[in-house]
Structure 1
Amino acid sequence: MGRAAGVIPTPRVSGSTGPVPADPPAVGRVTLVGGGPGDPGLLTRRALDRLAEADVVVADRLVPHAVLRDLRPGVRVVDVSKVPRGAFVPQEQINQVLVTEARAGHRVVRLKGGDPFVFGRGMEEMLACRAAGVPVEVVPGVTSAVAVPEMAGVPVTHRGLTQGFTVLAAHLPPDDPGSTVDWAGVARSGTTIVLLMAVQTLPEVTAALLRHGMDPATAAVSVENGGTDRQRVLRGRLDDIAAVAAAHHLCAPAVTVIGAVAAFADVTQLADASARPGRDL
């Protein structure tokens, strides 16, 4: 007996006991993009390409905000700023935003200051995306740990002075139970010391380095708002850079460099002088 007209049999897959499920909804992607140290001109070409394609941009406080004004019409920007001792979006919430937006089929750019994997919690976001089955890509950025000193005329290494540099997140003072830094080892390392997130803890950090035997006369420099038209450079020594920073009301974001190379700091940028990013030093 023939089939009734207009009735199409339900397709089956060998071994299945029911109809083939509908295709899953399209999944977008997440790209973790390093925004560099502040100057929009220091974004990579791939970073600009991913921003040009984005449907949603999830942005940190320290990204080069000028690039957000150049996004194509209709792009949603989600602000997930983490302000020191201020507004704070939990990392778990950021992870969820990335996954939810990608599962909705969107091309998501997670725009972060500096490099995503240098104190940027980028690996946590990558793991969250992978666990959720969301494709994720990383676009490296120029890290402020190296670029900001450079823009103040300070190389983190220099032949005859230092054979390496140590980059530390100093948001916790040395005596904090959560600090895992061997400050005695750092003081003895003979490398340039680069401190990020150290505006509030600079007095404790410098005191610890002095206590562990570093020369009080070691050159030091703090660079505020590196790579922007508000860049400011404060120069001193290990034993007084914290006092210099306090006297000039140093504000975050700032990078502090301790070591012989800090003496190279461009004298035209000292104290309240401003430096435009990209000019010759």
Structure 2
Amino acid sequence: MAENPAYPVGLRLTGRRVVVLGGGQVAQRRLPALIAAGADIHLVSPAATPSVEAMADAGEITWTKRPYEDGDLAEAWYALIATSDRQANTDASAEAERHRVWCVRSDDADAATAWTPATGHSEGVTVAVLTTNAKGRDPRHTAAIRDAVVEGLRDGTLVAPHHRTRTPGVALVGGGPGDPDLITVRGRRLLAEADVVIADRLGPRDLLAELPPHVEVIDAAKIPYGRFMAQEAINNALIEHAKQGKSVVRLKGGDPFVFGRGMEEAQALAEAGIACTVVPGISSSISVPGAAGIPVTHRGVAHEFTVVSGHVAPDDERSLVDWAALARLRGTLVVLMGVDKIGRIAETLIAHGRPADTPVALVQEGTTAAQRRVDATLSTVAETVRAEDVKPPAVIVIGEVVNVGVHSPLNASE
């Protein structure tokens, strides 16, 4: 006769006594979830790993420093038995049975009254996967199923529609530096749930091809501007689609708030009474240099880095940058949107004291299949850009860290 399958249930342990026997690796893995559940956790073990000890020091658990003794499971709701002493585990399991305490055993699943499922989380949903019976249990297979389900929920490939009415609104999503794999999990999920996507030219274009056919994709560069400024027209498009009850994603390259005008859009939405969610993205200011093998900081070389917009020249009255102060800094300078102004930027930095032989790297189309890196110095960078025909988008890195990464084998496009 086949063994009956385990009955799945979610335990609500907030404020309830949970006893953990053993302070080793098993406890270290299981304790964070019990802490997150709000359990009143009592650890009984003569020793513990540094991580478990830190939990005790922080007051997240109560630690009794001794081996298991009969009576330790009294008044407990749930017990995790994970000591290295098999006899102690057997005795504790018997006590759990007497007190009717649900008990998990790390050394003998067959002798336990409960099993720990492979769990994962995605946007307020817990996915728990259990093998149907003790015989033939394969934890790796169970974990693989868990991972596949959670990843599908996160990236939108496994779509579970909400049957309750969704609140219309706009999500400002940072798409990262270009490689579609570098968008955040939350950003990819919101894209999968969107009705309308208004995308920038510098957003990760490959992500748009993955969208379901019913999603309306709008190129922000092609929104009719008429009497409006470009940004004002984009703001109006976001508001209009959201007011129609649609879920709107504003997909931007990098991070919405790093020279992305994201706050202007958030303010316009707030004034219109439209709910707005901000999803940070990986900024190209650090990710693109890293993809080219350049660390923006490095021990003994650079203790700070500064990110600056180069979209206006240093002598332009619209510039808000103190270039003289930047020239005096010893750390790394990362310039975004500065390819066509790099000549005047370099001249200004040299004029205010930055050595002419300071290394410079230009990383074009960073993190994509078209990525390339061109090296120069402050004195040669203007001519190098012309000779090598460097085009935007490109991130410019100025400082000694450029030489640290010259021979790096890193390639983020692989």
Given that 2:292 and 2:412 are in contact with CA atoms closer than 8 Å, whether structure 1 keeps it comes out as: no
Separation (CA, whole Å) in 2 of partners of 1:148 and 1:240: 22
Matches for 1:1-281 after TM superposition, within 5 Å:
28-81=168-221, 90-267=230-407, 277-279=412-414
Separation (CA, whole Å) in 2 of partners of 1:51 and 1:218: 42
1:66-114 Cα distance to aligned partner (Å, 9 max, x none): 11011112100010138xxxxx970000000000000000000000000
- The count of aligned residue pairs is 244
* Deviation at residue 148 of structure 1 after TM alignment: 0.5
SS in 1 for 2:171: strand
For structure 2, the residue ranges without an aligned partner over 5 or more in a row are 1-165, 223-227
Give the residue type in structure 1 aligned to 2:304. G
Separation (CA, whole Å) in 1 of partners of 2:249 and 2:381: 38
* Deviation at residue 265 of structure 1 after TM alignment: 3.8
Given that 1:193 and 1:259 are in contact with CA atoms closer than 8 Å, whether structure 2 keeps it comes out as: yes
* Deviation at residue 278 of structure 1 after TM alignment: 4.0
* Deviation at residue 230 of structure 1 after TM alignment: 0.6
Give the residue type in structure 2 aligned to 1:260. E
Structure ranking higher in helix proportion: 2
Separation (CA, whole Å) in 2 of partners of 1:105 and 1:254: 38
Given that 1:219 and 1:259 are in contact with CA atoms closer than 8 Å, whether structure 2 keeps it comes out as: yes
Separation (CA, whole Å) in 1 of partners of 2:270 and 2:240: 13
* Deviation at residue 277 of structure 1 after TM alignment: 3.1
SS in 2 for 1:200: helix
1:165-223 Cα distance to aligned partner (Å, 9 max, x none): 01000111100010111111000021200000111100000000000011111111000
Given that 1:221 and 1:265 are in contact with CA atoms closer than 8 Å, whether structure 2 keeps it comes out as: no
**Aligned residue in 2 for 1:6:** none
* Deviation at residue 227 of structure 1 after TM alignment: 1.0
Give the residue type in structure 2 aligned to 1:37. P
TM-score norm. by structure 2 comes to: 0.57
SS in 1 for 2:221: coil
* Deviation at residue 237 of structure 1 after TM alignment: 1.2
**Aligned residue in 1 for 2:99:** none
Separation (CA, whole Å) in 1 of partners of 2:300 and 2:257: 30
Separation (CA, whole Å) in 1 of partners of 2:406 and 2:371: 12
For structure 1, the residue ranges without an aligned partner over 5 or more in a row are 1-25, 83-87, 270-274
* Deviation at residue 276 of structure 1 after TM alignment: 5.8
SS in 2 for 1:99: helix
Separation (CA, whole Å) in 1 of partners of 2:221 and 2:297: 32
Separation (CA, whole Å) in 2 of partners of 1:105 and 1:266: 51
Given that 1:148 and 1:226 are in contact with CA atoms closer than 8 Å, whether structure 2 keeps it comes out as: yes
* Deviation at residue 63 of structure 1 after TM alignment: 1.0
Separation (CA, whole Å) in 1 of partners of 2:243 and 2:193: 17
Separation (CA, whole Å) in 2 of partners of 1:123 and 1:215: 36
SS in 2 for 1:208: helix
Separation (CA, whole Å) in 2 of partners of 1:154 and 1:225: 15
The higher radius of gyration belongs to: 2
Question: What is the RMSD of the two structures over their aligned residues, measured on CA atoms?
Answer: 1.8
Given that 1:36 and 1:114 are in contact with CA atoms closer than 8 Å, whether structure 2 keeps it comes out as: yes
TM-score norm. by structure 1 comes to: 0.83
Give the residue type in structure 2 aligned to 1:207. E
1:25-50 Cα distance to aligned partner (Å, 9 max, x none): x9610000000000001011000110
Separation (CA, whole Å) in 1 of partners of 2:188 and 2:373: 29
For the structure 1 residues 39 and 266, does the alpha-carbon distance in structure 2 shift closer, same or farther, using more than 3 Å as the test?
farther
SS in 1 for 2:339: coil
Given that 2:307 and 2:333 are in contact with CA atoms closer than 8 Å, whether structure 1 keeps it comes out as: yes
Separation (CA, whole Å) in 1 of partners of 2:272 and 2:298: 45
Give the residue type in structure 1 aligned to 2:373. V
Give the residue type in structure 2 aligned to 1:93. A
Give the residue type in structure 1 aligned to 2:392. A
* Deviation at residue 263 of structure 1 after TM alignment: 1.1
1:123-155 Cα distance to aligned partner (Å, 9 max, x none): 000000000000000000000000000010000
SS in 2 for 1:52: helix
Give the residue type in structure 2 aligned to 1:40. P
* Deviation at residue 245 of structure 1 after TM alignment: 1.3
Separation (CA, whole Å) in 2 of partners of 1:171 and 1:122: 17
Separation (CA, whole Å) in 2 of partners of 1:89 and 1:57: 20
Give the residue type in structure 2 aligned to 1:252. P
Between the two structures, name the one with larger relative contact order (CA 8 Å, sep ≥ 6).
1
For the structure 1 residues 89 and 54, does the alpha-carbon distance in structure 2 shift closer, same or farther, using more than 3 Å as the test?
farther
